[in-house]
Structure 1
């Protein structure tokens, strides 16, 4: 299997993003312009370790990222995170490459993943050509910062959110920043359907998945079995919400009574 090396193209791509000439960058790296040109054009197949480390330090990116990842295919948000020094390879993780599409104004689209394409999504989630074929929407009230995608849900495990809702999620890059019991869409390697659960990231690199519906028991999956995580942003549904149960009304009345008693005790 052929290994793709993106180092030279990435160096040129990042230099152009910084609006620097070859001569200017070469001077900062203490090398000749001709050497830099040979690296960018691929004429130098095996740059020295010293030179590789120079580029890594200058761009604040790990060698894994500079060599293995085609940076030109990443979204603007991800590029800014890398340029700010937030490279997950440096933190000891694996870089999850997110394929996106943009509109004519270079704004990211919100793609919709239909039910019939769920099985294919697991194999094409990081393929720009596959993502480009998904339906695209421009939604109101979606922040410009971040990448969003819409996933249809099935089942009643997250009631009172109705069955067959369309959940809009925000892409999560750093899973360690997820707060306990955060509602998320989780894409698992070996599971055909998408999972919509309350997610808690554990210290042993497992994820606990919990349903809002108490009839479903929580369970644990390995972080290595997870392809993507999308934090809940909003949902839409054609189903009218279930009426509030008598138990819910009783619970609220008990809580209100408890609050009243506590206030009277303080008087």
Structure 2
């Protein structure tokens, strides 16, 4: 017989949350979390639904299945045998850290995004103004497809639990099976996402919803390249476009 108290305890610990931290996320007292986990009390439906939201798990799974034996899978997959549990780290006060995925470890993240030991060893920091506003992660972007953000800029992303929460035209960091980590502007389409670069020299392309592993909404960025005057930026953009044009002409001659 599946015991819901064991599922709650397992999922909380998998997240790396203290009982105090977990209780603050679903708006109940810490003592009530203890009662749930010890089997002294059963959670009401409204509290169960809040748990399902923060754990990104279905009500059926948390009530009827031993979640410790389920495979960690794609949270956009409709397969009820899979559950997505996001690995995070916390500081000594129980507050979530912001883990940094730099270019050096980006390839490893594609394969180890759900490995707690991998996540635990990442560089981490905190930003006071993001306190209690969700789970965040920082990604170092590369390339010039999203100019004026230059290669090496750090984009802070907020974890998005469902593809339904994507807002067309906004920028997101997405992790996919084939592409790895990419930072693009997104438009939702039927059973797919259209990924659009701000640099028009790059063509938009589609990824299937089932290929998406994680989605992070871009909310801030850090860069060592200070903003240039518009005239200087436009001149740089024109130079880059001319370079691409010259390369195309050279290819045609070969």
Query: Per the shorter chain, which TM-score range?
Result: 0.5 to 0.7
Match of 1:175 in 2: 163
- 1:113-138 deviations in whole A, cap 9, x for unaligned? 12111111112111211111111101
SS in 2 for 1:111: strand
Match of 2:183 in 1: 196
- Alignment partner for residue 97 of structure 1, among 77, 80, 85? 85
Query: Relative to 1, partners in 2 of residues 1:24 and 1:173: Cα closer, same or farther, differing over 3 Å?
Result: closer
Within 2, Cα distance between the matches of 1:6 and 1:133?
32
With over 3 angstroms needed to count, the CA separation of the structure-2 counterparts of 1:70 and 1:241, relative to structure 1, is farther
In the alignment, the residues of structure 1 paired with residue 78 and residue 209 of structure 2 have an alpha-carbon distance, to the nearest angstrom, of 18
TM-score (norm 1): 0.63
1:214 to 184, 195, 200: 200
Count of aligned pairs between the two proteins: 200
Deviations 1:50-85 (A, max 9, x none): xxxxx99994553334425349xxxxxxxxxxxxxx
Contact 1:189-1:226 within 8 A present in 2 as well = yes
Task: Report what 1:146 is aligned to.
Answer: 134
Max Rg structure: 1
Q: Pick which of 125-134 and 140-149 moved more.
A: 140-149
Q: Distance in 1 between matches of 2:66 and 2:77?
A: 11
Q: Give 1:215 deviation, angstroms.
A: 1.5
SS in 1 for 2:193: strand
**Unmatched 5+ stretches in structure 1:** 29-54, 72-86, 250-267
Task: State whether residues 138 and 157 of structure 2, in contact with CA within 8 Å, keep that contact through their aligned partners in structure 1.
Answer: yes
| Match of residue 209 from structure 2 | 223
In structure 2, how many angstroms separate the alpha carbons of the residues matched to 1:215 and 1:58?
A: 49
The structure whose RCO (Cα within 8 Å, separation 6+) is larger is 2
Match of 1:199, SS? strand
1:195 CA displacement: 0.7
Q: TM-score, normalised by structure 2?
A: 0.66
